[in-house]
Structure 1
Amino acid sequence: MVYQILIVVALRLLLLAPLVIALAACDGSRQPVSASVSVAEAMSGDTVGYARADRVRDFVFPEDHGPHPAFKAEWWYVTGNVRATDGTDRRFGIQFTVFRSALAPDTVGARESGWGANQLYMAHTAIGDLEAERFYDEERFSRGAAGLAGASSDPVAAFLGPVRLEATGPADGPVPIRLTGSADGAAFDLEAEPVKPIVFQGDRGLSQKGAGEGNASYYYAQTRMATTGTITIGGEAIPVEGLTWLDREWSTSALSENQVGWDWFALHLDDGRDLMLYQLRQTDGTKDPLSKGSLVLEDGTKIHLDSGMYSLEPLATWSSPLGGDYPTRWRLRVPDQGIDLEVEAAFDEQELDATVRYWEGSVVVTGSAAGVGFLEMTGYADGLEGNARPTPTL
């Protein structure tokens, strides 16, 4: 989430580290990795010795487009909706995420062996073919090593094997990027140009997620990027255009004891506004007061939204064949802004059967405004095994 944070998955990588390294050390073949861990368990790791997001800071670019290894977890996250320009009008949802996760505080010092890398990387990629209702997704792991996986600020890049984000222009502010990746036989090659200023979420980029000092992330976004390129499915390269959204977060954080998951929305409205909201769900089903969001106007002005300024009401639920029930149609209201929307999955089967299962997919917006966007839901399949499909390791 934004909390895309999918930090749950990044920290789960720590728990799987010995297995991942063992697989990578073998013959490179695709091996199954399975897990049944709750969001709360995955986010309960040790935070001692790591830097914490515990105060408002100045952001500096291009440095902050790159990695922050003193923090435990970090991610480069892009979602969006594109449409074919070849006359077929086919529509696709895109997810690109590269996670960096530290195995130990950098105070431990460098290790001489290349196999002793202190950083592990994970990538999640997905392509939703909305008309065919076909979902392609893939998960990859690698240790941080030259040529395998890594991130940098000069030039701006984050990659794991063929899954790559690279700057295509000046990076001293909003950065134009190229995204490449593949998922279960499908692929994308996209270029995205920011059309709005950088948005600093939360309090000037400090986004509190849990009770206690340091249970927060540094978080900024490029909420609207004009995007062109190709989607390749079944060997056919389809020219596309549309909008994508970049989120950048780094953190050494943990869920509070009463938090069990979240629902996160990133919406591109046709009138030029961008809306991000998330609710942290508590054990009793209520919304944590630390939930928040933002409305970004057409000119880039940000309006901060506290938890009491919006409501989310599930209207319909999809039952995954792997177990777990996800709300895939919602009513979303921001009364002070005259916003009353229905947000519905473009199709229901957009669940990633990854190390930790979650739902992440394209949605359609109707009501007081029209648009498209992305929805992420975690914590609905906790403790339930998936199919544990083969996971590429590098």
Structure 2
Amino acid sequence: ASPWATRQAYMGHFALTDVAGETFHAFERFERGALGLAGAEAEPLRIWIGDWEVGTAAPGGTVTAGSGPDTVPGTVFRLEAAEGPVALDLRLAPSKPVVLQGVDGLSAKGPEPGNASYYYSLTRLGAAGTVTVDGVGHRVRGLAWLDREWSTSALSPGLVGWDWFALQLDDGSDLMVYRLRREDGGTAPYSAGTFVAADGAVTQLDAGDWALEATGSWESPRGERYPSGWRLRVPELGLALTVDPRLRDQELDLAFRYWEGAVTVTGRRQGD
């Protein structure tokens, strides 16, 4: 058999928002899982497509958390990627336990049998390393969010897309919500979310527990129209938030087009 033969194909997306430079960079790779060109290994963790790679760093390391001076011991992930004028070399350390989304990690996306995904999150990781833009390296420190989701199903009939938010608030809490969007602009009942308190306590949110309203829209140069700016309320948590994109154009114009990018969150939590 040819050493090129494989049943595995890999696709990767790499994007970086340069807020100061008002530029959004997005790249895509396809590679076969042969000859070491791309692959995934569990122990030790290593996932790669060319020189884009996620894995575990040397054991025993620490990363200074972006929210304070303390270091976070335990597992440290490394994230390395370079393409065109930008590159990342980061170390990431979780400061909260893994969150299983949905019911024990099974997140239903519709009423049909099997229309679901397995989904877990690390909602707050300390991040430190180097971001390079146009040949200039910048030492960075902050927070990161890791989502892992996989499935074999597509959206239910009548659904045209989804609005997904991963928000880290300055009181140490984190909020994830996703709205499955119907053709008429309404919210499908299988929309859901999760609130993770500063101490790691998890509150599951159903579609009726929160309300999302787009405050504007943006049309890309390719003709796609996206919501742009939102109001998000979670009454039972006393949360009233405004979400605005850092740049309006954060569209990934790749094999399939979608908008995903950095946002600014403002608002209040009742009692704070």
One fold, TM greater than 0.5?
Answer: yes
Q: What is the aligned counterpart of 1:133 among 13, 22, 27?
A: 22
Equivalent pair of 2:5/2:34 in contact (CA under 8 Å): no
Aligned partner of 2:37 in structure 1 is 148
Q: What is the aligned counterpart of 2:181 among 269, 276, 281?
A: 281
User: What secondary structure, in the 3-state scheme, does the structure 1 residue paired with 2:149 have?
Assistant: strand
Give the distance between the partners of 1:333 and 1:317, measured in 2 at CA: 19
Give the distance between the partners of 1:314 and 1:227, measured in 2 at CA: 30
The structure that is strand-richer by fraction is 2
What are the superposed Cα offsets for residues 147-167 of structure 1, whole Å, 9 maximum, x if unpaired? 210101011111101110011
Aligned partner of 2:66 in structure 1 is none
Residue 207 of structure 1 pairs with residue 116 of structure 2:
no
User: What secondary structure, in the 3-state scheme, does the structure 1 residue paired with 2:208 have?
Assistant: helix
Give the distance between the partners of 1:124 and 1:135, measured in 2 at CA: 13
Equivalent pair of 2:27/2:254 in contact (CA under 8 Å): yes
Cα drift, residue 169 of structure 1: 5.1
Cα drift, residue 318 of structure 1: 1.4
Comparing 289-298 with 321-330, greater Cα deviation is found at 321-330
Give the distance between the partners of 2:232 and 2:83, measured in 1 at CA: 31
Cα drift, residue 176 of structure 1: 2.1
Equivalent pair of 1:126/1:135 in contact (CA under 8 Å): yes
Aligned partner of 2:208 in structure 1 is 308
Residue 113 of structure 1 pairs with residue 2 of structure 2:
yes
Q: Aligned letter for 1:309?
A: D
What are the superposed Cα offsets for residues 44-102 of structure 1, whole Å, 9 maximum, x if unpaired? xxxxxxxxxxxxxxxxxxxxxxxxxxxxxxxxxxxxxxxxxxxxxxxxxxxxxxxxxxx
Cα drift, residue 175 of structure 1: 4.1
What are the superposed Cα offsets for residues 117-176 of structure 1, whole Å, 9 maximum, x if unpaired? 1111011001111122111110000011242101010111111011100112569xx842
What are the superposed Cα offsets for residues 206-233 of structure 1, whole Å, 9 maximum, x if unpaired? 1011222211111111110000000101
Aligned partner of 1:189 in structure 2 is 89
User: What secondary structure, in the 3-state scheme, does the structure 1 residue paired with 2:198 have?
Assistant: coil
Equivalent pair of 1:217/1:251 in contact (CA under 8 Å): yes
Q: Where do residues 1-394 of structure 1 align in structure 2 (5 Å cutoff)?
A: 112-168=1-57, 175-368=75-268
Give the distance between the partners of 1:278 and 1:192, measured in 2 at CA: 24
The structure that is helix-richer by fraction is 1
Cα distance 1:127–1:147, how it changes in 2: closer, same or farther (>3 A)? same
Give the distance between the partners of 1:364 and 1:212, measured in 2 at CA: 36
Give the distance between the partners of 1:249 and 1:327, measured in 2 at CA: 23
Cα drift, residue 249 of structure 1: 1.7
Q: Which has the higher contact order (CA 8 A, sep 6+)?
A: 1
Q: Aligned letter for 1:144?
A: G
Taking only aligned residues, the RMSD between alpha carbons, in angstroms, comes to 1.5
User: What secondary structure, in the 3-state scheme, does the structure 2 residue paired with 1:117 have?
Assistant: coil
Cα distance 1:169–1:223, how it changes in 2: closer, same or farther (>3 A)? farther
Equivalent pair of 1:311/1:333 in contact (CA under 8 Å): yes
Query: Which sections of structure 1, spanning at least 5 residues, go unmatched?
Result: 1-111, 370-394
Q: Aligned letter for 1:125?
A: F
Q: Aligned letter for 2:27?
A: E
Cα drift, residue 113 of structure 1: 3.4
What are the superposed Cα offsets for residues 344-366 of structure 1, whole Å, 9 maximum, x if unpaired? 00111111111001111000000
Cα drift, residue 319 of structure 1: 1.4
Give the distance between the partners of 2:148 and 2:35, measured in 1 at CA: 22
Query: Which sections of structure 2, spanning at least 5 residues, go unmatched?
Result: 61-73
